[in-house]
């Protein structure tokens, strides 16, 4: 039996699988966003009598591939949290537009391993051209492009996640802070990395993975009444560390924190970091793509002063996971820290210095041709279409924030940022009502009609509404608002009943 499908069989099955995707996406509004499933149910459905892996054993004989679609309908869909559902408002969006799926199909068909320019010239250069174009479209400036006018020459790459982007930025920062000796000597315990309490946990993980230990992480204070980093507090912390013989290595400024969407003042932070020779990394994983819209570009103000800048195409820019965009102002920084070249990877193109080998811009050796799915999105929508997508969600968030302001018994828990609105319920006298806020969130999520997540702000439980799904429109936000309002009324009515 051949190990691969014939072209005719692939064509026939391909139509069936694409039809399944189209039907699934069309039917999403009628499905619960969160599945009513208990731990172990999926495994039991797969391993029970007559199931695909009955008794926990894999099948010995081949089965018709189209049967897999039936198993996905039976086992997978009913037990999946539906991230592409138009009423998914949790975490941040994970856009997987169907145009990006088609681009991913092309990438998989080519099956390229783009670790070196020589192993797939197209995979490398398409990515370079796309990232240069997006740097310009986002307003980052020419210094972040391969063809720009930066003193060292910059450039971008597509990482698997903002977490990986933060890690490689930290490794480059360690290498630079150590005068190029970090690769040989490692860390000495004096290194310090600066964040706020709102900074994404991936920075804390990067510090641990890099071998610095939790003591290297310095949590900097925020501007009074906000969750944004205070440049003055940063300056004080860095000066104190230097006086104590410690070495500032990296400052992470966040544009759109996960909890509340807070934006750190990059322009104010940059000179403080530079004064101590620290690498400035801007984590704009969710919010950075808003820079495509001129009227929203204020969120990335000062980014051109950073050493590295990251934003995710797979959150709000319609590109199926994984596709995190990382730019650096010095294109030699990552290879200097990360390049390890065994004999079997040596080749004439790399030795010439005329090409980029993206394996030196990341931790893994191997990499997929991610640029194709991003290209498919840009080709399908153009920058104008992407801006329309972003603007529609921002407008819906503005509307939701207005409804909250006008409704008794509910308040904004933080200033709205782009498509993120944080709210909480309060008592009749305006006091915090964490119990109602928590109960309303649980009620909405259990209903299956929508999904929201929470955070804690100033010790108070808060509902986050992240508007940004591929199919999410204002009508879905209106429906969520009605769920929140009626949920609060029901919770309060129940709590007001006399106890027997």
Residue 455 belongs to a domain with what CATH number? Answer: 3.90.1150.10
Q: Please state whether the predicted TM-score (pTM) of the whole model is above 0.85.
A: yes
Residue 340 to residue 320: CA distance in whole angstroms: 30
Is 348 among the domain residues? yes
Residues 267 and 398 both lie in one domain: no
Residues 434 and 355 both lie in one domain: no
Is 41 among the domain residues? no
Out of 368, 397, 415, a domain closes at 368
DSSP class per residue in 313-351: HHHHSS--S--EEEEES-TTHHHHHH----GGG--HHHH
Is 361 among the domain residues? yes
- The first and second tokens of residue 122, run together, are 């197209």
Residues 358 and 422 both lie in one domain: no
Out of 347, 368, 389, a domain closes at 368
Residue 31 to residue 87: CA distance in whole angstroms: 10
Which pLDDT does position 186 carry in this prediction? 86
Is 224 among the domain residues? yes
Q: Which helix (H) or strand (E) holds 280?
A: strand 279-283
Out of 368, 391, 408, a domain closes at 368
Residues 350 and 385 both lie in one domain: no
- Label the pairing between strands 308-312 and 279-283: parallel
Question: Whose CA is closest to 287, among 279, 302, 298, 276?
Answer: 298
Do 466 and 93 touch, CB atoms closer than 8 A?
yes
Is 98 among the domain residues? no
Residues 168 and 288 both lie in one domain: yes
Question: Whose CA is closest to 491, among 427, 420, 397, 402?
Answer: 427
Residues 361 and 464 both lie in one domain: no
Q: Which domain holds residue 484?
A: 378-496
Residues 182 and 326 both lie in one domain: yes
Q: Which helix (H) or strand (E) holds 453?
A: strand 453-457
Is 37 among the domain residues? no
CATH number at residue 320: 3.40.640.10
Residues 154 and 278 both lie in one domain: yes
Residue 222 to residue 264: CA distance in whole angstroms: 9
Residues 383 and 350 both lie in one domain: no
Which pLDDT does position 151 carry in this prediction? 46
DSSP class per residue in 367-391: ---THHHHHHHHHHHHHHHHHHHHH
Query: What string of pLDDT tens digits covers the 500 residues of the chain?
Result: 678 999 999 999 999 999 999 999 999 999 999 999 999 999 999 999 988 899 999 999 999 999 999 999 999 999 999 999 999 999 999 999 999 999 999 999 999 999 999 999 999 999 999 999 999 999 998 999 998 554 458 999 999 999 999 999 999 999 999 888 888 888 889 999 999 999 999 999 999 999 999 999 999 999 998 999 999 999 999 999 999 999 999 999 999 999 999 999 999 999 999 999 999 999 999 999 999 999 999 999 999 999 999 999 999 999 999 999 999 999 999 999 999 999 999 999 999 999 999 999 999 999 999 999 999 999 999 999 999 999 999 999 999 999 999 999 999 999 999 999 999 999 999 899 999 999 999 999 999 999 999 999 999 999 999 999 999 999 999 999 999 999 999 999 987 665 54
- The first and second tokens of residue 147, run together, are 């063809």
Question: Whose CA is closest to 19, among 65, 67, 69?
Answer: 69
Residues 435 and 330 both lie in one domain: no
Residues 364 and 382 both lie in one domain: no
Q: How many domains does the chain have?
A: 2
Is 116 among the domain residues? yes
Residues 116 and 199 both lie in one domain: yes
């Amino acid at each position: 039996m051949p190990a691969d499908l014939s072209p005719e069989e692939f064509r026939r099955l391909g139509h069936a699988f694409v039809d399944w995707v189209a039907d699934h996406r069309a039917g999403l509004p009628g499905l619960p966003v969160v599945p009513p499933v208990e731990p172990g149910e999926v495994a039991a459905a797969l391993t029970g009598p007559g199931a695909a892996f009955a008794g926990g054993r894999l099948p010995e004989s081949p089965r018709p591939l189209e049967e897999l679609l039936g198993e996905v309908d039976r086992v997978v869909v009913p037990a999946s949290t539906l991230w592409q559902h138009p009423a998914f408002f949790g975490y941040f969006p994970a856009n997987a537009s169907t145009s990006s799926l088609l681009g991913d199909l092309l990438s998989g068909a080519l099956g390229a391993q783009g670790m070196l320019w020589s192993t797939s010239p197209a995979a490398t250069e398409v990515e370079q051209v796309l990232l240069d174009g997006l740097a310009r479209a986002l307003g980052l400036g020419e210094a972040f492009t391969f063809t720009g006018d930066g003193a060292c020459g910059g450039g971008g790459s597509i990482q698997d996640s903002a977490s990986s982007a933060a890690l490689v930025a930290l490794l480059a920062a360690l290498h630079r802070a150590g005068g190029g000796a970090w690769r040989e000597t490692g860390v000495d315990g004096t290194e310090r990395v600066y964040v706020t309490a709102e900074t994404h946990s991936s920075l804390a993980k990067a510090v641990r993975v890099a071998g610095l230990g939790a003591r290297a992480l310095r949590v900097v204070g925020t501007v009074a009444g906000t969750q944004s980093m205070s440049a003055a507090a940063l300056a004080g912390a860095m000066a104190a560390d230097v006086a104590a013989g410690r070495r500032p290595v990296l400052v992470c400024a966040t544009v759109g924190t996960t909890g509340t969407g807070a934006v750190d003042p990059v322009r104010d932070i940059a000179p403080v970091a530079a004064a101590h020779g620290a690498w400035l990394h801007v984590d704009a994983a969710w919010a950075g793509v808003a820079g495509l819209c001129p009227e929203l570009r204020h969120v990335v103000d000062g980014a051109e002063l950073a050493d590295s800048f990251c934003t995710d195409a797979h959150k709000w820019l319609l590109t199926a996971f994984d596709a995190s965009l990382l730019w650096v102002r010095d294109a030699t920084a990552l290879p200097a820290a990360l390049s390890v070249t065994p004999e079997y990877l040596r080749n004439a193109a790399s030795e010439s210095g005329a090409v980029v080998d993206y394996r030196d811009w990341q931790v893994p050796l191997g990499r997929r041709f991610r640029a194709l799915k991003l290209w498919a999105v840009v080709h399908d929508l153009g920058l104008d279409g992407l801006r329309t997508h972003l603007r529609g969600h921002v407008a819906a968030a503005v509307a939701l924030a207005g409804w909250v302001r006008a409704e008794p018994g509910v308040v904004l828990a933080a200033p709205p940022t782009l498509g993120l609105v944080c709210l909480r319920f309060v008592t009749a006298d305006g006091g915090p009502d964490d119990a109602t806020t928590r109960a309303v969130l649980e009620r909405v999520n259990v209903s299956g009609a929508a999904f929201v997540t929470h955070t804690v702000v100033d010790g108070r439980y808060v509902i986050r509404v992240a508007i940004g799904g591929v199919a999410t429109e204002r009508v879905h936000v209106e429906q969520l608002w009605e769920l929140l309002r009626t949920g609060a009324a029901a919770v309060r009515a129940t709590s007001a009943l006399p106890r027997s």
